[in-house]
A = this chain, B = another copy of it.
Amino acid sequence: MARPRQFDEERVLHAVRDQFWDAGYAATSLEDLLRVTGLGKGSLYAAFGDKRRLFLRALRSYTDVSHGYLREMLDSTPRALDALRTFVMAPVSDAGAARRGCLMANSTCELATADPDVLTEARRTYEATTALVAECVVRAQDEGDVPPDADPIETARALLAAQQGLVFMGRTGMEIGTLTATARSLVDQLLPGAPTS
């Protein structure tokens, strides 16, 4: 045993994630990372490896947390149809979040062709999300809110595509009201049925 670390690993990952989220991977310099974490180069490199590894680590942390939130939301919403609607509408929750977009989506657009590990992480994430949503679709079918002949996986993929489309529209700076209306329109067509109580 010797001198203990003077930083909290989670806090560092959180700061790093925000930096990459706001500026992107390539546009974030090592100096930026030192500034937002308050660490020295030696500490950062000893703890996380180089810039790319640190990025992948932050990205994984982000997707894990997001996955947890999604599962919790899907599971805790009484009516599955409402959960699915909330899922699609998520990118529209507030204007700030809408412009920021999704770290995984931003990273995919920036790096999917250049970094195989990012691409792998993207596929992993979206397959996991699809599975989670599909499970919820099945529940909605049991509850009589989604036609029983619909393929759950295919339905989940369509909902995910719609959601990602909204994420993207938000990133273009579309006004939040307009974005919300578009989201409602998509939800109404993809998930028809009695409105939320």
Which of B22, B24, B165 touches A165 (beta carbons < 8 Å)? B165
Q: Is A85 an interface residue (CB 8 A)?
A: no
Contacts of A189 in B (CB 8 A): 158, 189-190
Proximity bits, A15-29, B CB within 8 Å = 1, else 0: 000000011101100
In the docked arrangement, what's the CA distance between A167 and B174, Å? 18
In the docked arrangement, what's the CA distance between A123 and B178, Å? 13
Taking a contact as CB atoms under 8 Å apart, the answer to whether B171 and A109 are in contact is: yes
Taking a contact as CB atoms under 8 Å apart, the answer to whether A161 and B169 are in contact is: yes
Taking a contact as CB atoms under 8 Å apart, the answer to whether B114 and A172 are in contact is: no
Taking a contact as CB atoms under 8 Å apart, the answer to whether A185 and B162 are in contact is: no
Greatest chain B CB density within 10 A among A101, A158, A160 is at A158
Q: Is A173 an interface residue (CB 8 A)?
A: yes
Contacts of A141 in B (CB 8 A): none
7 further A-B pairs in the complex, CB-CB below 8 A; given A23-B114, A112-B171: A109-B109, A154-B182, A157-B178, A158-B189, A163-B165, A164-B168, A167-B168
